[in-house]
Amino acid sequence: GYAVFAYPRDGNGYVPEVQLELPQGWVKALPWVENPAGMEDLLYNPIYAGGLALQEQDSLLVAVPSSSAASGIGLDEYAEKARLLLSETENMLGGLELQEGQRLLIAALLVGEGEEMTEMYYPSTPFSLAVVLSAPSQFNLLSDSSIEATSRGMASIPLYKRLPVVKEALWLTQGSSWYLQDIIPFRAGIWGARATWDRFYHLYDVYRGARSRYSGSIALSGSEASQGADASAMLCCGGASASAVIDSELQEQQIANRDLASFLSDLASLDPDEPMTNDDIQEYLEVLTGMDWDPFFRDYIEGVEEIPASSFSSLIIVTPETSQQSAETPQGDTSTSGWILLG
């Protein structure tokens, strides 16, 4: 259904009360325990109600339709993995700063039939306290695509909140969330290095396909992503590939253990008065690394050249504590399987 909320003329300090009258058998899933802390909580988050199966896990509330297979298969296990993902996301990008009475809502929204989540490389404006999974009726909550979507949704919340950028620089925030969707589960111990590389390789292949068809740049795709599938894939997957380049270079430079996540946190801590531009991002990268980043931005961000696989040659996801088994070099027929070096 639909609801219309009237925003008070002076909404500062106004604490709304939400009362829902639900049909028999319906339950509600909200990102707050009693009432929203303010009008922003109410207007920038979903109100989810219906025949739902709920699972609480610390500061998380997971809600899936009771008619879906996910309501009875793996809900407890998924909630525990979501807790681990949230903990690692906050370690990497900063906490969500939940206030008393707030929680992160993960809501599964059923779209169509089938078992596999449809690949939709589309930019999104995240809710402030919720992650919504668009999934078919028989989807598996524990699938790789579900874990990715959860990680991506969690990462997008602090990035959107703390790192405002102009449209030409959306590739950094959108791309980082798509890149980190595979790093976060690895660092949370949910899957190993090989799965991480396989999933990232897939994003890179999607980017290469979009690059061959889309005439615009990664920067331009920030304005055109809503107009076509290739522009959307360029922003999300091209942005992920560009973010991987930054991660690789920062790791190679070995500057105070900097990586992409710490770089994003550093940018956010600058607290600029205006949304950041590509010039701002380039300037900070050059100050941090002492390198000339003009070719990268000129050719791959503002230009239309394809980011080569060699740009990731220093990329490392294996931490010193990682087991030797997890650090094995991926094998297989993936077109990019030979160009990642683990250390």
| More confident site: 271 or 178 | 178
The pair of structure tokens assigned to 215 is: 């005439």
At residue 26 the predicted structure's pLDDT band, cuts being 50, 70 and 90, is very high
Residue 99 predicted with pLDDT over 80: yes
Handedness of CA 243, 308, 235, 129 (dihedral sign): negative
- Report pLDDT for 328: 39
Alpha-carbon gap, residue 244 to 236, rounded angstroms? 12
At residue 324 the predicted structure's pLDDT band, cuts being 50, 70 and 90, is very low
Q: State the virtual CA torsion across 299, 238, 123, 340 in degrees, nearest 10.
A: -140
At residue 325 the predicted structure's pLDDT band, cuts being 50, 70 and 90, is very low
**Burial (CB count within 10 angstroms: exposed 0-12, middle 13-18, buried 19+), residue 294:** exposed
* Reported pTM: 0.87
**Distance between first and last Cα of the chain:** 52
Residue 262 predicted with pLDDT over 90: yes
Q: What residue has token string 């900063």?
A: 94
**Burial (CB count within 10 angstroms: exposed 0-12, middle 13-18, buried 19+), residue 23:** exposed
What does residue 39 show for φ and ψ, rounded to 5 degrees?
A: -65, -30
Helix axes 260-269, 75-93, angle to 10 degrees: 60
**Burial (CB count within 10 angstroms: exposed 0-12, middle 13-18, buried 19+), residue 154:** buried
- Report pLDDT for 9: 60
What does residue 335 show for φ and ψ, rounded to 5 degrees?
A: -65, -20
Report DSSP letters for 262-316, one per residue. Answer: HHHHHHHHT--SS-B-HHHHHHHHHHHH----HHHIIIIISS-PPPPGGGGTT--
Alpha helices in the chain (DSSP H): 39-43, 75-93, 144-162, 170-187, 193-213, 218-224, 229-233, 239-253, 260-269, 278-289, 294-296
Nearest to 94 by CA among 248, 246, 263: 263
Section 256-282 average pLDDT: 90
| More confident site: 227 or 339 | 227
Which letter, b or e, does each residue of 260-289 get, where b requires 16 or more Cβ atoms within 10 Å of its Cβ?
bbbbbbebbeeeeeeebebebbbebbeebb
pLDDT digits (tens, 9 = 90+) for 280-290: 999 999 999 99
Alpha-carbon gap, residue 95 to 162, rounded angstroms? 11
pLDDT digits (tens, 9 = 90+) for 188-204: 999 998 899 899 989 99
